[in-house]
Amino acid sequence: MASSPDMSDLIAQNLAAIRHRIAQACEKAGRAEADVSLVAVSKFHPIESVEAALKAGQRVFGENRVQEAASKFPQLRDHFPDLRLHIIGGLQTNKALEACQIADMIESLDRPSLSDAIKKAAQKAGRLPELLIQVNTGDEPQKSGIPREEADAFIETSLKKFGPKIRGLMCIPPENEDPASHFRFLRRTGDRHGLPVLSMGMSADFETAIAENATLVRVGSAIFGSRPVPQS
Ligand SMILES: *Cc1c(COP(=O)(O)O)cnc(C)c1O
């Protein structure tokens, strides 16, 4: 299936514009462009949109739901063996096996029960994705992520359990707050534990995140347009 030329062009243009803004933000922050990777968040968008992004050179993608990721990405790997899939949404323990089978990185490790499930699943799958610990920097009850207070202890036990597969931290700041202080909190926490990866910043605030040392920025709507209603 091919996407309409208009949609493909638009996605390619959007990607070019985002890459340009990332480059500018890096320059402003005195950082190397190569140190920031763009995760294109394709949740709720059809496989044709993902293909358009792949054809425009994008290789790293983020999906919230394991089921949806499984319906799009394994087939694309045949043609694009170097694509990378990140699971970025809250993960149920009963989805851990499928996540280990299909993902290159799980960005949402946030509780001991999920650590146990991933450990077991990885043994069964013969494959352990890279892991980020999601920190609920705003301590919002409805949001995934380890609470701020518990973050240091959870990072330590996770490092003991998974070693260098724990690559770093991820956060989603509260919607109506200045994100910079949340990004800074994540950065300091990562520094304390010597973790190299910080996944932070979305369409509305990725430049702020780059100024605070983000190494992964997760951009959805600014690339693929506003999201269609999920088909579940
Ligand atoms: C949807 C989503 C994004 C992308 O959000 P946009 O505002 O569309 O860029 C980033 N991170 C997570 C965890 C998401 O769920």
What pLDDT is recorded for position 82? 97
* Ligand 1 atom closest to Cα of residue 108: 13
The dihedral formed by the CA atoms of 183, 38, 116 and 173, expressed in degrees to the nearest 10: 30
> Which residue from 14, 41, 58 has its CB within 8 A of the most atoms of ligand 1, so it is best to mutate?
41
112-167 pLDDT, tens per residue?
999 999 999 999 999 999 999 999 999 999 999 999 999 999 999 999 999 999 99
Q: Where are the domains of the chain?
A: 5-222
What pLDDT is recorded for position 4? 75
Q: Among 184, 168, 161, which residue's Cα sits nearest to residue 86? A: 168
**Ligand 1 center–CA 218 separation, angstroms:** 6
223 vs 9, 14, 47, 97, 215, CA distance in Å?
11, 5, 14, 30, 18
- Straight-line distance from the first to the last Cα atom of the chain, in angstroms, rounded to the nearest whole number: 22
Band (pLDDT 50/70/90 cuts) for residue 231 is low
Residue 232 pLDDT greater than 80, yes or no: no
**Ligand 1 center–CA 219 separation, angstroms:** 6
23-38 pLDDT, tens per residue?
999 999 999 999 999 9
**Ligand 1 center–CA 60 separation, angstroms:** 14
For atom 7 of ligand 1, which residue has the closest CA? 203
Residues with C-beta less than 6 Å from any ligand 1 atom: 41, 43, 64, 88-89, 172, 202-204, 218-222
Residue 190 pLDDT greater than 80, yes or no: yes
> Which residue from 88, 91, 135, 216 has its CB within 8 A of the most atoms of ligand 1, so it is best to mutate?
88
Q: Tell me the CATH number of domain 5-222, given options 3.20.20.10, 3.90.190.20, 3.90.1070.10, 3.40.50.150.
A: 3.20.20.10
Residue 110 pLDDT greater than 90, yes or no: yes
For atom 5 of ligand 1, which residue has the closest CA? 220
For atom 6 of ligand 1, which residue has the closest CA? 220
46-90 pLDDT, tens per residue?
999 999 999 999 999 999 999 999 999 999 999 999 999 999 999
DSSP H or E run through 42: none
